Structure 1
Amino acid sequence: MNNIPAQIRTVKVTRYVTPLREGGSLPAIVEADDGFLYVLKFRGAGQGLKALIAELIGGEIARLLGLQMPEIVFAELDEAFGRTEPDEEIQDLLQASTGINLGVHYLSGAITFDPVVTQIEPGLASQIVWMDCLLTNVDRTARNTNMLIWHKELWLIDHGASLYFHHSWENWEEQAKRPFVKIKDHVLLPQASQLEQTDAEFRAILTREKINEVVSLIPDEWLKNEGSDESADELRQVYAQFLETRISMSEIFVTEAQHARKSLI
């Protein structure tokens, strides 16, 4: 299994290449000072910093579990960047996103995963379904799979719709214990026949230590904008405790997924 990095690399955005208008938060392809292209998720977009936090946690947990996930970087955007951008909407977004944003390595030539064209074997399907149950990821449906085929391998992208408990901090303890009913819409659920085996394997990997390593990656400035009285460290611990609780009670979401699958096959 791959380990998460000790730290996330930081790059500086040097060139705005093109918007990706199919994304609701208007992400863009940008070039950074390391010479690589990234899909940039902006802190000033409508979904805000919580989407970036979900992207970071979801992406690094996927990597920790051995799933294919493009490299995530912190992407610094200078306040002067984009002043000459002719599109007023894009210029406003760039100006609202000064500071640390989130970049995902651009997989040039990748194609969108199509479940009709590509069959995913049960083990991998079960792993992705299990992880999305853990993260409460509502955005891996047939309409929008958020998966790519690159060099004949399946890659995961876009975890910004995960962890929706953090859009309302109230009763997060209860939310951590709930089944994930939206798993019924997961594009890979019909193939996910090895959930019990996956559950045992992934619970062993996602120890408290590993979860804390993931949440420790969240930048302070992303958490200080939460409008909460808690410190950045206290908010990180909420994320960690939410995930630890779900992992310790994973039979709840595994059972829900199994029941939803039976209704499909």
Structure 2
Amino acid sequence: MKTNLNLRTVNVTRYITPLREGGSLPALAEADDDFKYVLKFKGAGHGVKALIAELIGGEIARALGLKMPELVYANLDEAFGRTEADEEIQDLLQGSQGMNLALHFLSGAINFDPVVKTVEPALASQIVWLDAFITNVDRTFRNTNMLLWKKELWLIDHGACLYFHHSWSNWEKHAQSPFALIKDHVLLPQAALLKETDVLFKELLTPELLLEIVALIPDEWLQWEEVEATTEELRNVYLQFLLTRLNHSEIFIKEAQNAREKLI
């Protein structure tokens, strides 16, 4: 697949500190471009599938005009981490040699607190629509996965979306699911413009754009022992999942609207 979208590739030069609030033990790291990044490791938790979810979810958010830190491919040299004293972290680094994923670190950003900050209906509806579309289970009051940076709301951490790929069976059924977990979304009470958002976003997310986003998945992240499929066949399932879900968006929009009515 050819794509007009491009992610930069950086080489990680310094492991600064683990970010232990993340379940997959991401880290703050520095790269050879002298920028700091939140580094997500393919050797952690759900492995490359979490990175694929992070990549697809993040780039769809960006394509929809939502604020997202820059995503980059982050290369870990085989010698990296050998001097790390913490055995758990050393194992993580050694198991993540090669291509990983990182988000540009937003220095000075603070966690979004829904008690303190109110999000206006248009933006709330856009974020709820996004998360219902990509089946993101992780934007709740317990863990909002949003930051306030320079007085703007930024989205982070999409590694828990597209959870159908952890079983990789009956993806067609998952693609047309109503996504009942949207009832727990932190911004659902403010999302009063879901129908209008649906019209707008379905125009923006063309098949060509989704094809370009899926094409960003590196081949080395698609070498799965548990399935007999080529890298292109796996990419195509992701594409078809997204296209099917988009074409049946009324299913998850109705679910979100019904859940919201119960809250207000």
TM-score above 0.5: yes
Q: Number of matched residues?
A: 262
Structure 2, gaps ≥5 residues long: none
Report the equivalent of 2:5: 6
Report the equivalent of 2:116: 117
Q: Cα distance, 1:225 vs. partner?
A: 3.1
Report the equivalent of 2:180: 181
User: AA paired with 2:26?
Assistant: P
Report the equivalent of 1:172: 171
| 1:196-215 C-alpha deviation (Å, 9 max, x unpaired) | 00000000011110100000
User: AA paired with 1:76?
Assistant: N
Q: 1: CA distance between counterparts of 2:133 and 2:30?
A: 33
Q: Cα distance, 1:5 vs. partner?
A: 6.4
Report the equivalent of 1:151: 150
Report the equivalent of 2:99: 100
Report the equivalent of 2:18: 19
Q: 1: CA distance between counterparts of 2:212 and 2:5?
A: 8
Alignment of 1:1-265 (within 5 A): 6-225=5-224, 227-265=226-264
Q: Cα distance, 1:226 vs. partner?
A: 5.1
Q: 2: CA distance between counterparts of 1:45 and 1:249?
A: 33
DSSP-derived class of the 1:47 partner: coil
User: AA paired with 1:161?
Assistant: A
**Is the contact made by 2:4 and 2:212 (CA closer than 8 Å) also made in structure 1?**
no
Q: Cα distance, 1:7 vs. partner?
A: 1.2
| 1:69-94 C-alpha deviation (Å, 9 max, x unpaired) | 00000000011001000011100000
Change (3 A) 1:240 1:226: farther
Q: Cα distance, 1:229 vs. partner?
A: 1.4
TM-score norm. by structure 2 comes to 0.98
Q: Cα distance, 1:144 vs. partner?
A: 0.1
Cα RMSD between the aligned structures?
Answer: 0.9
TM-score norm. by structure 1 comes to 0.98
| 1:222-252 C-alpha deviation (Å, 9 max, x unpaired) | 0013532111111111000000001000000
DSSP-derived class of the 1:154 partner: strand
Q: Cα distance, 1:169 vs. partner?
A: 1.1
Q: Cα distance, 1:46 vs. partner?
A: 1.4
* Percent of aligned positions that are identical: 69
